[in-house]
Each structure stands twice: as C-alpha cells, then as structure tokens.
Amino acid sequence: MSATAIVPELDADLATTDFIKEMVRQTRALDSYGTCDGWPTERLLAPYILTKAQRREIPVIGDPDELILARIKAYHNAIAALIEKECGLMAVPLINITHEGFGRALITVGKLVVMDRTLRDVHRFGFDSYAKMKDDCDKHLSVALEIIGRYPEVAGL
C-alpha cells in the first residue's frame, strides 16, 4: 500500500487555516532532500490521512519507519508552533518513541508541560480526514493555552 496513492481532497476554507499552513511548513522542513518540493498541499499532507480501509490493511503489530516518525514530529511541531504564535512564548516539542511504536509526546512552555500525549501503535498514525486532524490539533491547542493562562509565571520561566 502506498501512502500517497490516494490523495484526499482538501476543502478550500480548511486549506487557508493557520494549522494547515503550519503543517505544510513543518512537513517541508523535515524533507531535507527536497523530495516533496513542488508538491501541492493535498499531495504533501495525504500521508496523514488514513481511511478505515487503509488502516485495516496495516498490520496491528508493526514497527514505525522513518517516514512515519517524521510525520509524527511534523504534526507535534505544528502544534508547538501554533502555541508559540498564540501565547508569544517558546513551545518545545519532545517526542520519544520506542522501536516498537510506543512512546510519548510532550510540549513544554518554559518549565510548564502543556501537552502530554501517550503514543501507541504509531505505525498506524493518521487521521480520518483533514478536518479531524485539525480538530485534534485544536483540542490540544486549547488545552495548552488554558494551562498557560492558568500558570503564566511557570510558562515564563
């Protein structure tokens, strides 16, 4: 199964959101060899979208490859960049994943942990649609900003 064989359509309104723009930036930043240069947004972000049928084709047990790890990093880097944009403080993502596909994603602002997410079966990392991916980001973003608002002195350290 090729991750880029099916290119889902991206809604025009969704394509102009800060999240999608940041995802494109982060995905291109991790493309050190320029393999994806010139690709349209839909093709570039297509590997993040997995339909139920595509997910069924992926074995339940599997080890993540470097491309999947790069996508996970790009996704969490985009969340961190949006946190920075909203609050003006540096947000740092930390991702630790074992070779078996289990781990944790943290985002810190100052000395404050604003996101702590357990990752499992990362070889199957993906979202049903671009809208679901944005909704997941928005959920993490709103919780992180609420935590920063509650503890600004720790976030400023």
pLDDT digits (tens, 9 = 90+) for 30-47: 988 889 999 999 999 999
Q: Which H helix or E strand runs over 93?
A: strand 91-97
- Per-residue pLDDT for 112 more than 90? yes
In whole numbers, what is the pLDDT of the chain averaged over residues? 92
Q: What is the DSSP letter of 50?
A: -
Residue with tokens 């349209």: 40
**112 - beta bridge partners?**
109
Contact between 70 and 30 under an 8 Å Cβ cutoff? The reply is yes
To the nearest 10 degrees (0 to 180), the angle between helices 66-87 and 18-29 is 130
Q: How confident is the model at residue 72 (pLDDT cuts 50, 70, 90)?
A: very high
A 10 A CB-CB count for 91 gives 25
Contact between 123 and 58 under an 8 Å Cβ cutoff? The reply is yes
Domain regions of the chain by residue span = 12-155
Give residue 125's pLDDT: 93
- Per-residue pLDDT for 27 more than 50? yes
For residues 71 and 78, give the distance between their C-alpha atoms in angstroms, rounded to a whole number. 11
Fold for the domain defined by 12-155: Putative cytoplasmic protein (1.10.3100)
Q: How confident is the model at residue 1 (pLDDT cuts 50, 70, 90)?
A: very low
State how far the alpha carbon of 68 is from the alpha carbons of 48, 60, 110, 112, in Å.
9, 15, 28, 28
Give residue 131's pLDDT: 95
Question: Phi-psi bin for 65: left (phi > 0), alpha (psi -120 to 50), beta?
Answer: beta
Q: Report the predicted TM-score, pTM, of the whole model to 2 decimal places.
A: 0.91
Candidates 136, 117, 138, 115; CA nearest to 126 is: 136
